[in-house]
Chains A and B, each alone.
Chain A
Amino acid sequence: MTQQVRPGKGAPGTLLEVEGLRTHFFTKAGVIKAVDDVSFRVERGRILGLVGESGSGKSMTGYSILGLVDPPGRIVSGRIALNGTDITRLDAAAWRKLRGNRIAMIFQDPMMTLNPVLRIDTQMVEAVLAHHAVSRDAALARCREALSRVGIPSPDERLRAYPHEFSGGMRQRVAIAIALLNQPDVIIADEPTTALDVTIQGQILFEVQKLCRETGAGMIWISHDLAVISGLADDVCVMYAGRIVESGTVAEILERPMHPYTRGLLDSVPSRNTPGRPLAQIPGMTPSLLKLGNACAFRERCPRAIDSCAVAPAARDLAAGRMLRCVNPVA
């Protein structure tokens, strides 16, 4: 099997660098800035968490990296560098060669993402054959290995089955296995445990973390659940209304959240609240992305809003890897 030349496992390195990414949707009702000036880095063997409410642009960031943004949306500007190469400059065919190969994605609901009328082996083998000119048997061998790796016993039986014959947790493991087939540099996981039982969730999270360390891949874990992220990720980017409002390591963000929104998110996690007292909440609702205007998007809901918030704040680098977009932070 052919392998791409890349830095040896264990050596530090930036696998993916996103700079100033903007993905806009040009609809009849107006322009939706789904992803607005997003920048972050994914390092080898480290997990980056993208946290935000629905509509914050986190999933769309993932799709943009994969090149799966459909009209009326498109990447307007920005740089996405995979191992140094800016992939936004590539044509569709070249980008397709990276998808499922050097960058892989795991989706939220495995019942919907696996094709119900095709067998598992068909759907796995095609992922291999799309990128490597190997024999079907060699591809099958790889599939078997991938399935064992994600903890699925008797892979031969499983391969000949159809998706609906599996439980939710099992299906998600298959989806993870498919993502791992071609040993990608970057794996983007879009809320893969949201649709699963809590117990299964725990298992999947553990295994994903383990695999990431073992293979040396970089991972982006997208979630709305700060609790999950805090247990799983190494670095965090908090997104709101298409922008990253704060980023840093998980330890930094948890101990010293600076953006009022991050603070609000942390406070609303039930385990951080005192029993018997009302749960803390962030008042109001996410604004419609059509009506953002020039002010800070969080202004309406922010307890610390001041006059200067009428102009959307720029991103400030506080220290290495620590970024903040706020003129009146908490700490």
Chain B
Amino acid sequence: MLAFAIRRLGQSLFVLVVMSFLVFLGVYAIGNPIELLVNPQADAVERARATAALGLDRPMLEQYAVFLSRAAHGDLGRSFVFNVPAIQLILEKLPATLELAFAAMVMAIAIGIPLGLVAGLKPHTWIGRTIMAGSILGFSLPTFWVGLVLIMVFSVQLGWLPPNGRGETVMLLGVPVSFLTWDGLRHLAMPALNLALFKLSLLIRLTRASTREAVLQDYVKFARAKGLSPQRVIGVHVLKNILIPIVTVIGLELGSVIAFAIITESIFAWPGSGKLLIDSINQLDRPVIVAYLLVIVTIFIAINFIVDVLYSVLDPRVRLGAVAAH
């Protein structure tokens, strides 16, 4: 198990390095880098100075090496717009994004898995079919449009929930979180639901498919033959089997949720890193874009790695792997 983990760790680091090189290429090498890195309003003298200071007259590989070493120390340049280190900006906004992403994921799991179970156990009843039809609707809905509709209904028409912004925050382990306050929850509700919708549908379909397959297995028949209650058969025997692939998918989708949060943050003016990214793109604040990409890439690789390890932990067949039968 340890060997497996170390190997995966090595692979992850490799991917991280490759991605950093791609980001570097993309931003620093395309076009005239000086245009990208220096404030567009700078004049010729400043440009010359910046070129030398930024080492842009050096060979590419040397530049990359400098970039890497700076990055390793957390120096990814300064934002043009805010004139603070880019990495600092990103890290400030990250908790808000992560909070939104986790809330959405929790919603998707809490609603999606039970609904998927029901749809899988009773596929040809009206409730099973309704759930499936609903799930098709769920991932066909354009996220941003749903967000608008939510605002339309809950903010404009009914006036129940605030249409934008993040609520009051309190400090939890040194990080500001908003889900512990009532005001925070009111602000979190719609964006989280909006973000959760797509994953919810995915989870319903996945759970349904796994359940349908699982119920046909012999071990379910055997469990019933033992006289176990239906609750136990489904809740323990079936669930434990289908959870393994589902957990893997959830882990992998977490990264995607963080990415899709970009759209939700724009609609609901949620002050997270996604909104920051869009604003930076529109304002040509390249260092922030670079910083964002690197942070996200790192998060992704970390998530993939953790999911891989988690999978081997959950499935006893994988974990005990080579133990031979006697």
Q: Smallest CB–CB gap between B233 and chain A, Å?
A: 10
Closest Cβ of chain B: how far from A95's Cβ, in Å? Answer: 9
Do A97 and B227 form a contact, CB below 8 Å, given A109-B218, A114-B219, A116-B219?
yes
Q: Which residue of A lies closest to B244 (CB)?
A: A117
The stretch among A37-45, A83-91, A162-170, A203-211 that forms the contact with chain B is A162-170
**B226 in complex: contacting residue of A109, A127, A162, A167, CB < 8 Å:** A127
Interface size classification for chain B = 20 to 34
Bound-state CA distance A116–B217 (Å) is 11
Chain B residues contacting A165 (CB-CB under 8 Å) are: 320, 323, 325
Could you say which of A100-108, A279-287, A300-308 contacts chain B?
Answer: A100-108
Contact B227 A127 (CB under 8 A): yes
Is there contact, CB below 8 Å, between A96 and B316? no
Contact assessment for B223 and A101 in the assembled complex, using a CB-CB cutoff below 8 Å: no
Specify which chain A residues have a CB less than 8 angstroms from the CB of B316 in the assembled complex. Answer: 116-117, 162, 164
Q: How far is the CB of A201 from chain B (nearest CB, A)?
A: 17
Is B315 close to A, CB under 8 A? yes
Contact A113 B219 (CB under 8 A): yes
**Max count, chain A CB within 10 A of own CB: residue among B227, B320, B325:** B227
Cα A109 to Cα B221 with chains together (Å): 12
Contact across chains for A99 and B236 when beta carbons are under 8 A apart: no
| Given A164-B325, A166-B325, A167-B326, A114 contacting B228 (CB threshold 8 A) | no
Q: Does A98 contact B (CB under 8 A)?
A: yes
Name the residue on A nearest B225 (C-beta). Answer: A105
- Please tell me which one of the listed residues B219, B227, B244, B325 contacts residue A100 in the complex, with CB atoms under 8 A apart: B227
Whether, in the assembled complex, A296 has its beta carbon less than 8 Å from a beta carbon of chain B, the answer is no
Rounded to whole angstroms, the CA-CA distance of A195 and B170 in the bound complex is 62
* Residues 112-148 (chain A) with a chain B CB within 8 angstroms: 112-118, 126-127, 130-131
Interface status of B224 (Cβ within 8 A of chain A): yes
Say how far A159's CB is from chain B's closest CB, in angstroms: 15
Majority secondary structure of chain B interface residues (helix, strand, loop or mixed): helix
* Total A residues in contact with B, Cβ cutoff 8 Å: 31
B105 to chain A, nearest CB (A): 24
For the complex formed, measure the closest distance between the CB of B155 and the CB atoms of chain A, giving whole angstroms: 46
Query: A265 an interface residue at 8 Å Cβ cutoff?
Result: no
Q: Which residue of A lies closest to B319 (CB)?
A: A162
B248 at the interface (CB under 8 A from A): no
Contacting pair B241 A115 (CB below 8 A): yes
A178 in the interface, Cβ–Cβ < 8 Å?
Answer: yes
Q: Residue A99 contacts which of B218, B226, B317, B320 (CB distance < 8 angstroms)?
A: B226
Give B226-254 as 1s and 0s: 1 = Cβ < 8 Å from A's Cβ atoms. Answer: 11110010001100110010000000000
With A112-B218, A113-B221 given, is the CB distance from A131 to B326 under 8 Å?
no
Residues on B close to A: CB < 8 A? 217-219, 221-229, 232, 236-237, 240-241, 244, 315-317, 320, 323, 325-326
Using CB atoms and an 8 Å cutoff, list the residues of chain A in contact with chain B.
66, 68, 96-101, 104-105, 107, 109, 112-118, 126-127, 130-131, 162, 164-167, 170, 175, 178
Can you identify 21 A-B contacts, CB atoms within 8 angstroms? A66-B225, A68-B225, A96-B227, A100-B225, A100-B228, A105-B222, A105-B225, A109-B218, A112-B217, A114-B222, A115-B237, A116-B241, A116-B316, A117-B244, A118-B240, A126-B228, A127-B226, A130-B228, A164-B325, A166-B326, A178-B226
Given A98-B227, A126-B228, A164-B317; 6 other pairs, CB 8 A cutoff: A96-B229, A99-B225, A118-B240, A127-B228, A130-B226, A164-B316
